[in-house]
Chains A and B, each alone.
Chain A
């Protein structure tokens, strides 16, 4: 088998579980398969495994109910935060992204909200759909890619589109690791986000659709809450195997 085909097979096989990947790659080496047949074999198995995963509603929820809409909203918040920063610090105005009357306190509030929304959304996606994460990752980048293509002059730095991705990736990593989060922490996070949102809302500095972004944090709080059951992660609350 040539090096390129083997690398490709190795890449595709990453979608399999570790033990299965070991067994399958070992079988291919032992059978001295051609690159084409090996690729066909591994992608066939990956397809079957993925198809089985998508029979559950969880990957659909994670990808299309959480990731895609949240990414779109968070991308807008990222741009808004950048525009506000540019206006306050560099006195630069963007016609297509009016930033209203926010001062530094509201900018800070939005920055904290952006991080908290992204992290909690990422945590939920990571713990609920670990084996279908590739779809959630693609859908989280889709609005950004669309915006990158559509952006023209009068648009703030393109880097700002990715502001939400870093905290979201940290959240996903924690979700993937099944890192336990205490119900107290989860409630504190949800309550803080809600309080900050109310503050921004009362200052007319919150887009009405952004209220949807509080849902992952409250889901996290609800999932970790079990009377007298100790402090468990959301995945232990019945979410994690997909």
Chain B
């Protein structure tokens, strides 16, 4: 099963779609969780997920905004989506009846 941060990363990367790369994923995670996300945690987690076959990464285009440096693009694989879905379902099941879990 995925870890919390792995789930976050996969979900954010899937949401960003074609625009998923290091800086964008980090910005989205920080905005959503209101917590700091270090590049160290981000890139080592991306590597780990890629080794598990849950993500695919490649070097993308370089832009002037990035000083001519390439982006590391990220795409969630089918296996990654299944793992994230499984994590979500487990969290949803285990949260049923918990006082902090609101039913909307």
Contact = CB atoms under 8 A, between A and B. Distances in A.
Interface stretch (A36-44, A136-144, A177-185): A36-44
A31 B70 contact: no
A91 interface: no
Interface of B: 21-23, 26-27, 38-41, 43-44, 59, 62-63, 65-67, 69-72
B90 to A, nearest CB: 28
Contacts of A111: none
Given A19-B72, A23-B22, A23-B72, A41 B66 contact: no
Residue of B39, B43, B63, B66 with most chain A CB atoms under a 10 A cut-off? B39
Contacts, number: 69
Interface residues of A, number: 22
Contacts of B40: 41, 44-48
Contact of B71 (A26, A42, A47): A26
Contacts of A196: none
A29 interface: yes
Residue of A19, A31, A52 with most chain B CB atoms under a 10 A cut-off? A31
Contacts of A27: 22-23, 26, 39, 66, 71
A26 B69 contact: yes
**Dominant secondary structure of chain A at its interface with chain B:** helix
Contact of B23 (A30, A45, A48, A52): A30
A48 B47 CA distance: 12
B59 A45 contact: no
Nearest to A52: B44
A126 to B, nearest CB: 25
Interface string A45-60: 1111100100000000
A23 B68 CA distance: 10
A20 B41 CA distance: 14
A217 to B, nearest CB: 37
A8 to B, nearest CB: 15
Interface in A1-36: 19-20, 22-31
Contact of A26 (B27, B44, B66): B66
B59 A19 contact: yes
Contacts of B66: 26-27, 29-30
B5 to A, nearest CB: 13
A104 B28 CA distance: 72
B63 to A, nearest CB: 8
B59 A23 contact: yes
A22 B59 contact: yes
